Structures are given as C-alpha cells and as structure tokens.
Structure 1
C-alpha cells in the first residue's frame, strides 16, 4: 500500500500543478517581427513599423507588426529603428500613438486607420503637453500606445 501511495503522490502533484504552470506562461508579445517591403507586406488589422523609409523600399528588411501597446520597443530590439509606418485597418479601429520616449512619454504622433507615412522626417505631431508641433521621429520611436 505504501508503494502505491509513493508512486501515486508524484503523479497527483504533477497533475495538480500542471494547470498552474500553463496559466503562468508569458502572455503573447504585442508584436511580430517579419521580413518584407511595401504596403502589401503589412497584414490587415495591424500597424506596421518599417526599418527603412518608403516601407523598406524594394528590399526585404525588418517590419514590426504591432498588435497592442508596447511600452519599450528597445526590449524587443526595435527601439529607435522605425523609419516609416502603415496602419492597415478600417476607420472603425482604435488609434495608435508613436512616442519618442518609453512608456508612452515624449513627443508623439497619432496614427489613424489607413494612415501611410513613408518617412518620419519632420512630421506633424505633438509635444508631451499636447501642443501641435513638427517632430523628428525617424529612428526615434521608443513606444507605441493604443487609445
């Protein structure tokens, strides 16, 4: 009887702990990194940040497909690297905000559904206090928020 209990106890503990281990798995990242170029490379319903101007031109390069808020793009190896963007979504969607600092801080620009921006050189944006201005966002995007 003791042998049976000794064998059954580890199995019971494993079964009891399995759901806890599964639920403690890290949540899916709010982005996916792909290679490509052009507007057609951006999946529907996504904001795509391109490594180079003109949507990576004619050369396949890094595209970050954003699906949620990212407080620090540096944590994913893409901080201060975006040079163009496309929000491939219908008008009913939320707005994305691209920020020069982490955690949704710093100068920013609003990205409405359908917006295309072939380069981030001196674009219309806002100061951290919400005042309209021209901002230099090329290779300076550090976080993305959704509102």
Structure 2
C-alpha cells in the first residue's frame, strides 16, 4: 500500500512538471528579440524592438483582452512572436476592431497601421 501511494505521488509530481506553462503577463525593461522568452509574444514600446531607444516590454503567453492594465494599450510599436502560434493584434479592447495576424517566429515593427494602436491580443490555438 505504501509503495502504491509513493508511486502515485511521484507520478502526480511528474505530471505537474510536464503540464502546460502557467499563463502570465508582465512588463519589464528590455531590448531586442532576446528580451522575449521562448513560448511568449512580446510587445515593445519603441520601434525596432527598443534597440534604438531603450524601453519597456510586455511579455505574455496568454491572450489579453485589454492591454491597458499593463500600461501598454495604444503603446506597442514593435513585437516578437515566439509562441509557436499565430497571434492577432486588435486595435480595440475585447478583441474588437481592426486586426493584424502575425506568424510565429516573426518580429519587427507593428504591421499596417497598428503602431501605437494595439489594445488587445489573442494567441490562436
């Protein structure tokens, strides 16, 4: 009986360690694509991934219906997408308004007219 309980406990810990990453979003100072960890999409408050002008980076691995609580609504000028999925940028909160799709593995200044106009983002399955 003890062995079964220990084995079950060990398997439970193992299952937790290989589950999906915990959803998170935070802002930090940073520059360049290296400021964006694997599995995340990052928004930079200046052009060229903050390379020419140091600034903040919004780092997230979850969809965000409103960027304003992170002080990033209508602020992002460039991005890096390392999620492994398409990401959609919206110019209004709650995934509304104009949208731009960006593929995984891409980075650069905000596409189209989205520069300093993104208010929500969705990571597609």
Give the TM-score taking structure 2 as reference length. Answer: 0.75
In structure 2, distance between residues paired with 1:55 and 1:85: 7
State yes or no: 1:47 paired with 2:41: yes
| Contact 2:47 2:78 (C-alpha < 8 Å) held by counterparts | yes
Q: Runs of 5+ in structure 2 lacking a partner? A: 1-21
Equivalences, count:
103
Q: Where do 1:55-70 residues align within 5 Å?
A: 55-70=49-64
| Contact 2:64 2:122 (C-alpha < 8 Å) held by counterparts | yes
1:98 to 85, 89, 96: 89
Q: Secondary structure at the match of 2:92?
A: coil
Residue in 1 aligned with 2:78? 84
Shift of 1:38: 0.7
In structure 1, distance between residues paired with 2:44 and 2:70: 14
Q: Runs of 5+ in structure 1 lacking a partner? A: 1-27, 124-134
| Contact 1:36 1:59 (C-alpha < 8 Å) held by counterparts | no
Residue in 1 aligned with 2:17? none
Q: Where do 1:1-147 residues align within 5 Å?
A: 30-89=24-83, 93-117=84-108, 119-120=109-110, 123=111, 135-147=112-124
| Contact 2:27 2:70 (C-alpha < 8 Å) held by counterparts | no
The structure with more radius of gyration: 1
Give the TM-score taking structure 1 as reference length. Answer: 0.64
Q: Once superposed, what is the RMSD of the aligned Cα atoms? A: 1.7
